[in-house]
Structure 1
Amino acid sequence: MSAEPFCSVQESHLFSVHLLQLQSRILILTVCAAGIGGTFQYGYNISIINAPTSYIQVFMNKTWQERTGVPLEDNMILLLWSFTVSAYPLGGLAGAVVAGPMAIMLGRKMSLLVNNVFVIIAAVLSGFSQMAKSFEMIMVSRFFTGVNAGVSMNVQPMYLAESAPKKLRGAVALTSASFTALGLVLGQVVGLRELLGGEESWPFLLASNAVPALIQLMALPWFPESPRYLLIDRGDRESCSLVLAALQKLRGNSDLGAELEEMLAEQAAAKGQRAKKPWELFQNPAVRWQLVSIIVLSSAMQLCGNDSMYFYAAYVFQEAGIPQDKIPYVVIGTGSCELITSITCSMIIDYAGRRPLLLGGYIFMAGWAMVFMVALSQQTRISWMPYLSMACIFAYILSFGIGPAGVTGVLPTELFDQMSRPAAYMICGSLLWFNLFLVGTAFPFIVKSLGHFCYVPFLVVCVCTALYIGLFLPETKGKSFLEISEEFRKRNFKAQSHTALYKGPEEIKSTVL
């Protein structure tokens, strides 16, 4: 038997392995380039404001006294601080509104690049605020960081999901949540007193968000635009060559026939249509259940009480006997839990599916909410209850991270077609930021009114969301965008579903897309 065939097979295998490594490397680098200046900034800018809170409040009082000769009263300091904190979600809401038009007009990649302008402006304002003796600059800075986060939270998942191969779509899109958690943890670390969280260095801490922005501005231009945007949205001959080049970069020299055929089918279905406006989705019965699904899940993501767990963390850790100066280090553990679970979720989402992760996450959160309320109510009576409360905080955050934190951001890409997707993300983003503002404003009053049973509203949200997922949300794992559209078409037009069978892009064009 000749050795030549064996050698050729072996060489072919080695070439395939090398090709797979090349494809994976380029796709991973694309994800990193998009994430570092994208959703990373959302988590980072949420956490870096916590460490210098007392220093900024002292700065506000000192600045006001230098201007007027009269110090601020405590309630006025709290009011100014609430304005500073509220500027972030308000900016996020504005960013979510402009993200859709930006993604349509500029493209996904260019929108992420332009978005860095907002955070660089914010870094300059906050970095020079102490020198200029202007706490108003910090407020404006927080608004601009919010705009940046609002755009990136919408555009980055869209860009990555449209760029990923179908079998990796969930995992790649879910890296947006992983970068959010990474930003949260690094913000907590950089905010330690030994680094930039000290009394003299807090302006540098607030301005440090310029570093990820500059990294993205240098890295992302080397990577391709979303292939679906190039082919379906721009749709000219030049785009066809660009989309081939983009796919070659992301996939190597693998067979692109099936994927291009799928994209061309989407292009044919969207032919002659323009990008939808958000209000047009509410008027369109063909996307009724898709819209209800993203409204329920996007609202639940903020109304489930995960962020409020961070509010309780310091108090619970103190009751558990952890020294006050060590609590910031333990709080880093809460952010690390979310990071670990989001990475785990991205590794299993394309095997486990979307529905099981979402459903399991909300069911476990409902269970831990009940245990947490019991532990809080018995904290002063039973010596080991503070440790149970502490365990509940970590378990709640783990349950949130393994499902809702990441999967929710993937769904608008999968449930909507190319023409409706930016509008769907605008709706999701607006709800996310509005509910973040709502919970941040209302939670102190909920605690005051309900005391140890303050998690009852969040428990109700988790139970209702789990019921909705179990009864109405279909699985999207491993399905093409056209297959998902057809499944929802049957739900939206039940009366026609028993007679109208799937006949390809032309039928979808007239009913869904």
Structure 2
Amino acid sequence: MAPMLPRPPIFVNTSTQACELVTDLLIFDEDLTLMRRSRQAREPVMPAATPATTHNPPDARARSRRTFLLYLCGAFGGLLSGYDMGIVAGAQLFLTRDLGLSSWMQGAFVSSLMIGAIAGCFGAGPATDRWGRRPVMLATAVLFGAGALGMALATGPWTLIAFRVATGVGVGAASAVIPSYLSELAPTRIRGRVSTLNQMMIAIGIFVSYLTSYALSGAGAWRWMLGLAVVPAVVLFVGMWPQPETPRWLVTKGREDEARTVLLRLHKPAEAEAALRDIHAAAQTERHSRGRVRELFATRQVRRGLGIAVAMAVIQQVIGSNTIVFYAPTILKAAGFEDSAALLNSVGLGILSICTTFVTGRLVDRVGRKPLLLTGLVLMVISMSTLCAVFSLGLLDQTAGKVAAVASLAVFKVAYSLSWAPLLWVMLPELFPLRVRSVGVSVGSGTNWAANFAVSLVFPTLLAAGAGAAFALFSGVCVLAFAFTAVYIRETAGRSLEALERAAS
């Protein structure tokens, strides 16, 4: 008798609770900020306190809650991207057996997501300029859902790969449009914090995929693993349906009244009018632009932004995160976690990534983007160099070597999640003026996926050289990335997108 499949609510409850936790943390943090500003604005002599003067007004709290629901819905596509990237590891073992995949077909199945993502990135730019950010995000939800159902019902390898490519197109489009959507909606003072939600949702999606694989692996239910992605796809579509378009896109289309309505939802009236004037002024200087790829090379300002975006996209993939993921089980098993090494690697490091990304959101607008990027690289050089020494000198069988290796593993994960993992998506929209923001972010995101694909191709060859050589190479890459960041990357925190555009011109 065939084993009974676990019920789908395992995934639904986990993802819903994770999203509710993120929402509650963000709302609580915003409430504290509002209360702090309220106290600072009081006169030295005040009348006796009343409930109305000691607490946030109900309308302010309601607006805060609605605003963060908007941000959460805008970032929710990241959860789907993370889930689709992570679930393949658990599903591949069982579908390979059931569908009789050759080793070549297994590789095609895994890499097909990245191929689709590259196409989705470059297609998303013109689409978002023409139809808007919100419609493209709704389209990605449809692609996610169709791809999940198609893979779950696939009867052969080519059908499976075809729907995996379709899912990849959704992943790529989401990675290109979500950063712009969040960045263009968020007020300047919290733009970095809001933009880090994208990476946090990706981390949550990967974490949920690990839990789902663990729950369904006993039954070998790979169709459920892949098909359950339709649930968050529906949530994304339903959640995004009532959400607004970004005011910056609306202004470029001459719909200023709608833009004003959106800004009043996010800002106080005076701030909304000031923001609308800035956006209108920027749009007027670019009214003849059509957001084509060739316009990325039209001026020195835009070419510089493009060069930095492409470099940052490549750096995020080549600073060694894949090497850490590959060697993590070896390090953990050597440290004594024989039976739980895989679980600790996936669940433990996944939780660490989510928590660190939340901390990044708290710091990115206060400390700035550039200090976090540089600090992350310093910590990654230290951890990579330590791992190089441990593996090269054969210290992994000694207590000191085990401790150093596990500590370096955790330090790298924290450093990467604190800096380059989330901040690439924070900064990509900040590097381009409004007229080419969509296409610029699409090129940067597409470059990131292309670099990911290239690293996956050369990674087996690199591993053949040995762990010590691999860690030494990536340590050197981090040093070069530090020099590039220190010289070429400018701070963008605390300035509106329009102010950044004026400063660069």
TM-score strictly above 0.5: yes
Larger radius of gyration between Structure 1 and Structure 2: 1
Aligned-residue offset at 1:226: 0.6
String of CA shifts for 1:272-314, please: whole Å, max 9, x gaps. x223222331343232321221111111011111133112222
Aligned-residue offset at 1:251: 3.2
Letter in 2 for 1:22: A
Match of 1:471 among 478, 487, 501: 487
2:496 counterpart residue number = 480
1:249 counterpart residue number = 265
1:44 counterpart residue number = 83
Letter in 2 for 1:202: W
Aligned-residue offset at 1:30: 0.8
String of CA shifts for 1:350-381, please: whole Å, max 9, x gaps. 10111101111112111211111112232455
1:30 counterpart residue number = 70
1:94 counterpart residue number = 119
Letter in 1 for 2:124: A
1:179 counterpart residue number = 201
Matches of 2:196 and 2:286 in 1, distance apart?
26
- SS of alignment partner, residue 455 of structure 1: helix
Matches of 1:106 and 1:386 in 2, distance apart?
54
- Contact 2:147 2:163 (8 Å CA) reproduced: yes
Letter in 2 for 1:59: D
- CA distance 1:7–1:22, change in 2 (3 Å): farther
Q: Mean Cα displacement is larger for which, 161-170 or 325-334?
A: 325-334
Superposition pairs of residues 222-241 of structure 1, within 5 angstroms: 222-231=242-251, 233-235=252-254, 239-241=255-257
- Contact 2:329 2:342 (8 Å CA) reproduced: yes
- SS of alignment partner, residue 364 of structure 2: helix
- Is 1:368 the counterpart of 2:383? The answer is yes
Q: Mean Cα displacement is larger for which, 242-251 or 180-189?
A: 242-251
Letter in 1 for 2:94: Y
Letter in 1 for 2:72: C
Letter in 2 for 1:391: A
Match of 2:183 among 161, 173, 181: 161
- SS of alignment partner, residue 475 of structure 1: coil
1:507 counterpart residue number = none
- Is 1:397 the counterpart of 2:413? The answer is yes
Aligned-residue offset at 1:257: 2.5
2:8 counterpart residue number = none
- Contact 1:59 1:135 (8 Å CA) reproduced: no
String of CA shifts for 1:20-76, please: whole Å, max 9, x gaps. 32332122101111222x111221111111123321221232xx7xxxxxxxxxxxx
Aligned-residue offset at 1:421: 0.4
Count of residue pairs the alignment pairs up = 460
- Is 1:221 the counterpart of 2:221? The answer is no
Q: Mean Cα displacement is larger for which, 81-90 or 137-146?
A: 137-146
1:122 counterpart residue number = 147
- Is 1:138 the counterpart of 2:177? The answer is no
Match of 2:450 among 434, 438, 449: 434
Match of 1:456 among 468, 472, 481: 472
Letter in 1 for 2:500: I
Q: Mean Cα displacement is larger for which, 326-335 or 473-482?
A: 326-335
String of CA shifts for 1:472-508, please: whole Å, max 9, x gaps. 211111112233223333xxxxxxxxxxxxxxxxxxx
Q: Normalised by the size of structure 1, how large is the TM-score? A: 0.85
- CA distance 1:329–1:165, change in 2 (3 Å): same
- Contact 1:55 1:199 (8 Å CA) reproduced: no
Q: Mean Cα displacement is larger for which, 14-23 or 276-285?
A: 14-23
- Contact 2:117 2:449 (8 Å CA) reproduced: yes
String of CA shifts for 1:289-344, please: whole Å, max 9, x gaps. 21221111111011111133112222222222223365224421111111111111
- Is 1:337 the counterpart of 2:377? The answer is no
- CA distance 1:211–1:50, change in 2 (3 Å): same
Aligned-residue offset at 1:11: 7.6
- Is 1:149 the counterpart of 2:171? The answer is yes
- Contact 2:114 2:450 (8 Å CA) reproduced: yes
- Contact 1:93 1:150 (8 Å CA) reproduced: yes
- SS of alignment partner, residue 495 of structure 2: coil
Matches of 1:325 and 1:370 in 2, distance apart?
26
1:284 counterpart residue number = 299
- SS of alignment partner, residue 256 of structure 1: helix
Letter in 1 for 2:126: P
Letter in 2 for 1:220: M
For structure 1, which runs of at least 5 residues remain unmatched after alignment? 65-76, 490-513
